[in-house]
Structure 1
Amino acid sequence: MKTVLITGSSGGLGSQTALYFANKGWQVIATVYHLDLITDAEQHPNIKHYPLDVTSTESIENAKTAILNDFKVIDVIINNAGKGYRSFVELSCDKEIESIVNVNWLGVVKICRAFIPIFRNQKFGQFINITSVAGLVNLPLGNFYHSTKQAVESFSECMSYELMDFNISVCTVQFGNAPTNFQKNVTKCQTTKIENYKEIMHKIDAILAKKTCKNHDLIETILDKLYHIAENPNKNFRKYTIGFDAKFMKYLRRFLGYKAFNFVIKKKIL
């Protein structure tokens, strides 16, 4: 029986991924910020929950000690924990900037750093780092979220060179807005009297809400793909793009180049 560790498993895609792998016969190490966030629907005999704050090195080390007491081998780690922050640069605040950087980027760095020695001693392992279409293109009001996701893309590719000789594979997974509670939980900047800013925020909110509702089949596609990747690790670094939205934006950006892409986004969105 294989074992997967999934961060950010207290809800949304993380909990659904945990249940999907558990139903496929995997042992699942589901890490959550607080154990009291776990619902009855997330209980499964193949799932064991551990408290872990990806922003805290101490919390990660404590969780790692507990996990290694219970599991001899970890085959795959899925870095899923993440948060959103939608703000204009002018209206951004230090607390929220630091929070999204600590969760979305440094959280991935710290988890990888902590578990590389485990994979290296096992002589195998796989990191699946979930980013977003935000890791591929730059869109309005994506200042902070996109930056962190693109940082994970760069970090993952660089790290893959270091680990290939140890039979440790690394990949990233990008997709668009899935119908989870993620968008509802996105932190936004304070309201403003600046009319231009208000109009842009309204447009972006409406577009993302519409996309999220339309992508009702995306979660199943993501879960199927994550499972396939975990079952078939690739020794070479790979970027897996899932869903129509992400693939369309990826190839549109590549085909048009940044100047034309920028022009299209301004005309179609703003």
Structure 2
Amino acid sequence: MECKNCNTSLTLESDYCHVCGGKVIRNRLTIKHLLGYFTETFLNYDNKFLQTFISLFTKPDDVIGSYINGTRKKYVNVISYFAIALTITGIEWYILNTFFPDLIDMSSVAAKGQEALANESVSFVQDYISIVLMLFVPVYALMSKLVFFTLKKYNYTEHLVIFMYIIAQISIFGALINLTGVIIGIPLGHLVYINGPFQLIFSAYCLKKLYNLSIKGLLLRTLLFLVIFLLFFILFSALVVVVNIVMHGGVDAFMEAQKSKIQTP
């Protein structure tokens, strides 16, 4: 018998390949097996997904640090976890757009007169949510590297791993919060007041654990992070506006579109 993944010779009693670790599959694919795999992978308390999700809240230094240091079997690896987060986020926005379109409203968090632009920006982001999340990783990793430029514990590539885990966790938790909120009738704009602080606190918490920071050190670097984040946010907002202007065919057409949205009841 050979491993179907790497063609290594196996004994008839083998359940896993001793070279690649692949599970030996003896049965044909059926609905029952698919449901069993889904239950085993996502619903059992002891499975890697739930273990990774819970441990990122309780001991993020163990999850992220273990991966960086070479221990890759205990938790879901960073690429797979990020891919799961992208899938959940895609499902989240499909549900929001299909069943709760009226609650996708960011007017409550927009400056006066900028309500239409805020909703336009959200619409743009949700259309390219996977790309946006993937772009966030190198940007946040760069920001983090700048914040910790005096500490050489992690290189830029390792900061990429750190923020792939952090952004994946934020996305999964945010999806749970958003879907729960809209189900009970809370507009998406109001849920920003939950998701926004959570993102900042969770990111700071993970970095504190990874860098073993004191409270004072954490506060100082959080302030520096916020300054750098503000600069990047301004650049990102400007980019969104530029893209929208190009998509509308020019500044005049874009401004006219915004005016018509404001005037529309």
- TM-score calculated relative to the size of structure 2: 0.25
- TM-score calculated relative to the size of structure 1: 0.25
- The structure carrying a bigger strand percent of its residues is 1
- The structure carrying a bigger helix percent of its residues is 2
Over alpha carbons, which structure has the higher Rg?
2
